């Protein structure tokens, strides 16, 4: 069957799915090799990169001692479950990543003499975080990258489209993707020599999250159905200091607030974190999140707060303009008031398994940024290493692609006709039986900050029962969303049962079914 007349078709040398920092950095480097089509579900403000308040962690000085220290902090924060060689490759790539951003024109914060300003964040042994616009680093970097890409004669930006299927050539190589129009107005088919996933994580699968609503892991689920290996899905990072106000969406209170001297206190003003870790507020995020969970459970009547009232008001307004103004709009003056906090799902260390050039187990398919599992983060991510990973892996992925003779020699091979058929029906669960809200609440309650074996097992069974309700029905965006969420949630619960009992994977009072490293999940058609 030929494509529907309502299907837009185009060909590019490279297809990038996702419009965050990882996607745009990859696009910039790929433009020297050929044409690039970047497909996104929304504008640059629709993903997590735009809202990244934290900075960019770099081993300033870029000498061996600075690099060694950064590597050690990364592995320590990851509960020892990082790949040391890969961590070193990431940190050693920081110098090129930072220099490239400076050359593009990213306005990093500087002192009066023009020197780059550095700050310290939790689990870092020294100040090594650079910022742009105070707490607007993500948006500053993303806007700068986008400005250097848009308008290029080889670049095409397409939105709003949701990935529905990877397209395979007759030899099994991934040769592009099929996308559904988010507004229900048709389909998009993009054929390419190499396809790069840069779609971010799936923390919005949890009821309480710092991520935009679109971050639910659609692309990971689609790639899994085509045979991509998923791994370490149990390694969810919960950010501890997230504003907790009735009726308001969770709002991240940047890690830098604690790094710059903020205190976490209870209603009596006691700094509680030293009960759980000798570094108190500067303990790793997973430690602090668990501490807050345990405190709230032990003392449900006592509130938990972030206090920076001991810091000068002019400094707070200048250093944290986004956080300060948002809190003020909600009636909280950080220079005088404590901010009520509760953890929220924030970042995924696992995802599509790749090497350090972004290659997956499927030829022609790459992944960069939070959607990928490079094993550099372990069970918990060191603060401000996420932007570093997006930038460094963008560079490394393109080097890997340029060294691959396959895309140069074969060109773009159209997939077989059956691969290009526009689906008339799809498998899914009717939204009146299972909603996204139900899935999000299930993950929050049974795969959250502190995991109990009994809850994980019951959560897995509930997901299985919902999947058993899947039937053929009309193709809808909501139906596709729920199917992808259910399939990815199933893999998360399966991984929780074999995840190491460390870091973010902690079974309070119970033992996991088995110990050892997280499993790899190989997808099926």
The set of catalytic residues is 285
What is the distance between the alpha carbons of residues 319 and 120, in angstroms, rounded to a whole number?
Answer: 13
Strand 372-373 to strand 351-353: parallel, antiparallel, or no bridges (unpaired)?
parallel
Please list, in sequence order, all residues whose beta carbon lies within 8 angstroms of the beta carbon of residue 331, skipping any fewer than 6 positions away.
none
SS3 18: coil
Cβ–Cβ under 8 Å, residues 301 and 330: no
- Buried residues in 281-294 as b, exposed as e (16+ CB within 10 A): bbbbbbbbbbbbbb
What is the distance between the alpha carbons of residues 348 and 238, in angstroms, rounded to a whole number?
Answer: 9
Q: Tell me which H or E stretch contains 70.
A: helix 64-77
Extract the tokens encoding 50.
């735009």
- 3-class SS string, 232-276: CCCCEEEECCEECCCCCCCEECCHHHHHCCCEEEECCCCEHHHHC
Residue 499, judged by CB atoms within 10 A of its CB (0-12, 13-18, 19+), counts as buried
Tally the C-alpha atoms within 13 A of residue 382's C-alpha that lie toward its C-beta.
33
What is the distance between the alpha carbons of residues 75 and 261, in angstroms, rounded to a whole number?
Answer: 24
Helical pair 21-30 and 137-149, crossing angle rounded to 10 deg = 30
What is the distance between the alpha carbons of residues 261 and 160, in angstroms, rounded to a whole number?
Answer: 41
Query: 426 phi and psi, to 5 degrees?
Result: -150, 155
Extract the tokens encoding 518.
């997280």
Chain centroid to CA 337: 31
What is the distance between the alpha carbons of residues 170 and 472, in angstroms, rounded to a whole number?
Answer: 27
Query: 515 phi and psi, to 5 degrees?
Result: -100, 175
What is the distance between the alpha carbons of residues 258 and 239, in angstroms, rounded to a whole number?
Answer: 12
Cβ–Cβ under 8 Å, residues 274 and 291: no
CA angle, residues 444, 450, 455, in degrees to nearest 5: 65
Extract the tokens encoding 228.
């991509």
Of the candidates 485, 483, 494, the residue with the CA atom closest to the CA atom of residue 457 = 494
Extract the tokens encoding 23.
């996607």
């Amino acid at each position: 069957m030929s494509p529907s007349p309502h299907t837009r078709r185009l060909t590019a040398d490279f297809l990038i799915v996702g419009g965050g920092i990882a996607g745009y950095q990859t696009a910039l480097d790929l433009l020297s090799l050929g044409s690039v089509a970047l497909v996104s579900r929304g504008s640059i403000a629709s993903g997590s990169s735009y809202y990244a308040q934290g900075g960019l962690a770099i081993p300033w000085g870029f000498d061996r001692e600075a690099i060694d220290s950064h590597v050690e902090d990364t592995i320590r924060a990851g509960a020892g479950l990082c790949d040391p060689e890969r961590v070193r490759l990431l940190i050693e790539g920081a110098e090129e990543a930072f220099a490239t951003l400076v050359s593009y024109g990213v306005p990093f914060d500087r002192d009066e003499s023009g020197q780059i300003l550095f700050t310290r964040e939790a689990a870092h042994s020294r100040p090594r975080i650079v910022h742009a616009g105070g707490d607007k680093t993500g948006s500053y970097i993303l806007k700068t990258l986008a400005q250097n890409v848009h308008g290029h004669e080889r670049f095409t930006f397409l939105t709003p489209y949701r990935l529905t299927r990877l397209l395979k050539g007759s030899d099994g190589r991934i040769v592009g993707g099929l996308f559904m129009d988010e507004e229900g107005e048709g389909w998009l088919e993009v054929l390419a020599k190499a396809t790069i996933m840069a779609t971010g994580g799936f923390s919005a699968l949890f009821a309480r999250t710092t991520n935009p609503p679109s971050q639910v892991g659609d692309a990971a689920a689609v790639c899994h159905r085509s045979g991509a290996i998923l791994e370490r899905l149990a390694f969810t990072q919960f950010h501890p200091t997230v504003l907790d106000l009735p009726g308001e969406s969770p709002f991240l209170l940047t890690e830098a607030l604690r790094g710059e001297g903020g205190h976490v206190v209870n209603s009596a003003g006691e700094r509680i974190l030293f009960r759980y870790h000798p570094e108190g507020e500067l303990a790793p995020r997973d430690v602090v999140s668990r501490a807050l969970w345990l405190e709230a459970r032990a003392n449900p009547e006592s509130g938990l707060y972030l206090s920076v009232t001991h810091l000068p008001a002019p400094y707070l307004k200048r250093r944290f303009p986004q956080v300060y103004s948002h809190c003020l709009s909600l009636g909280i003056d950080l220079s005088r008031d404590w901010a009520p906090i509760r953890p929220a799902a924030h970042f995924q260390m696992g995802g599509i398994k790749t090497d350090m050039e972004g290659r997956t187990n499927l030829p022609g398919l790459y992944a960069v940024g939070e959607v990928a599992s490079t094993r550099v983060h372990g069970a918990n991510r060191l603060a401000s290493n996420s932007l570093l990973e997006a930038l460094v892996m963008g560079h490394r992925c393109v080097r890997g692609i340029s060294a691959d003779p396959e895309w140069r020699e074969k060109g773009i091979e159209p997939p077989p006709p059956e691969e290009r058929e526009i689906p008339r029906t799809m498998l899914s669960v009717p939204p009146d039986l299972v909603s996204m809200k139900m899935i999000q609440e299930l993950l929050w309650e049974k795969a959250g900050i502190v995991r109990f074996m009994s809850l994980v097992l019951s959560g897995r069974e509930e997901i299985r029962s919902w999947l058993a309700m899947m039937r053929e029905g009309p193709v809808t965006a909501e139906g596709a969303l729920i199917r992808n969420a259910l399939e990815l949630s199933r893999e998360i619960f399966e991984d929780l049962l074999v995840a190491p009992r460390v870091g973010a994977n902690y079974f309070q009072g119970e033992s996991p079914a088995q110990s050892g490293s997280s499993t790899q999940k190989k997808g099926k058609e």
